[in-house]
A and B are shown apart, each in its own frame.
Chain A
């Protein structure tokens, strides 16, 4: 059975942040196990910060955008292999 991959997409256009602040470590790294409700990243759109949380548990397999990169609406940002 092949693993199921879930892709976290941007709910709205904005800026992608991997960490809560520049001095703090990223929310998640590739290879990290995550659980339902864990914060994965922050999207800032028009000064509004939205924390995106994991809807399912799994392993982070890929982070497709760099910290502080602009993202379009519905752009794929993080890949998670569901467990």
Chain B
């Protein structure tokens, strides 16, 4: 097992990884930008290395500095978290070349999985049902218009190198394609360092449901059930739950089989997520592989009792999977709210600043994953996620009541956060009844 791991990330996920390491007796090294000197991931780590200016490309995306920090501190492995370098094939390879273990899939696997355009080709050949769209990267307006005409409007343009709603545009008319390509490509470059885009048919009113898998280096796989992530604002997930009230045993089995088929086809190792769109008739389309730990992983942890970050580390260290499929037991219901530093009463504009009078929820069945604390300054340079509030209940109704209670306990001043928005959603009749799809939030139009 590793003695020391460097965490190439910041914020709540860096804290989450440090916690797993500490419970495993592994020393931790944090890296930080000038803007994160006072961040919790710096305070919690055994060692912390300053790696550059606030701008991501000068710090958390600076591969050379991160690798050097790992070597200088005698780290044996690097955990990339999510975002930043987590799905960067070049970085995974640079780790290997420098004798460091990248905690994630192999560079070859990231190249296939992380690049959605390439992944599509591989999967179509396997008979996995995917959404019709471009077989490769779309660069020119002319090609995009032609393809969109073939698959039928509306279409969606997406970043090839990442997710999370960055670098995505829905196009309803050929006249919108040129600007869509330009804006999406700019966002994709800034968010993932890769401006490549692809285009596909846009399925209306679908649910976003994903399957969590684990795979070791010996071809063993387990599925840890689904997560329902349909509550999204401009393709950014805001509320996730496990299980999904829409998924019955038969659908779950079929989706899990497809997830494993995809994983085997690309020799996937480590923790991964297979994302699907499911239409009202329960027909499911494979969307993409997320070759990293995901923001919403805690809802799976809360319902299965499996520590996913610990599993990532064990798998990367060459251990066999700790559990087999028949040992996976799902229990109860977990829901996560992403609390973002945005003003829900003012078009969700970013709200960086100094946090004051913070009171976080607690009590039975409540988990809080965060890097914020009183007097901490939320910098404007990174993602707006400041806290994940997760609850568990024996049934969905109990979990919803618990989330309502936990949200009412949340107090913060100095910055605006999305708690008032979540309070509204958790009072909504359709949400409470599980009547949701990826367009659910459009009914909150007045504030979105």
Contacts and interface: CB of A to CB of B under 8 A. Distances in A.
Interface size range on B against A: 20 to 34
B190 A12 contact: no
B380 interface: yes
B187 A45 contact: no
Given A12-B350, A13-B352, A15-B55, A46 B186 contact: no
Interface string A43-77: 01111110000000000000000001010000000
Nearest to B182: A20
B380 A14 contact: yes
Contacts of B195: 21
Contacts of A68: 55
A12 B353 CA distance: 11
A46 B350 CA distance: 6
Contacts of A20: 182, 186
Residue among A12, A20, A48 with most chain B CB within 10 A: A48
B384 interface: yes
A47 B384 contact: yes
Interface of B: 54-55, 166, 182, 186-187, 189-191, 195, 341-342, 349-350, 352-353, 380-384
A14 B350 contact: yes
B349 A12 contact: yes
A16 to B, nearest CB: 11
Given A14-B380, A15-B381, A68-B55, A49 B349 contact: no
B191 to A, nearest CB: 6
Contacts of B186: 20-21, 49
A20 B55 CA distance: 16
B350 A48 contact: yes
Contacts of A21: 186, 189, 195
A20 B383 CA distance: 20
Contacts of A49: 186-187, 190
Contacts of B190: 44, 47, 49
Nearest to B185: A21
**Among B187, B349, B353, B380, which residue has the most Cβ atoms of chain A within 10 A?**
B380
22 contacts: A12-B349, A12-B350, A12-B380, A13-B352, A13-B353, A13-B380, A14-B350, A14-B352, A14-B380, A15-B381, A20-B186, A21-B195, A45-B350, A46-B342, A46-B350, A46-B352, A46-B381, A48-B349, A49-B186, A70-B54, A70-B55, A70-B380
A48 B196 CA distance: 19
A67 to B, nearest CB: 11
A25 B187 CA distance: 17
A44 B382 CA distance: 9
Nearest to A43: B380
A47 B54 CA distance: 13
Interface in A3-29: 12-15, 20-21
Nearest to A20: B186
Nearest to B165: A47
A12 B54 CA distance: 16
A47 B189 contact: no
A21 B353 CA distance: 27
Contacts of B189: 21
A57 to B, nearest CB: 23
A46 B382 contact: yes
Kindly name the residue among B189, B191, B350, B353 whose own CB sees the greatest number of chain A CB atoms within 10 A. B350
A70 B195 CA distance: 23
A13 B381 CA distance: 9
Contacts of A44: 190
A46 B383 CA distance: 5
Contacts of B353: 13
B55 A46 contact: no
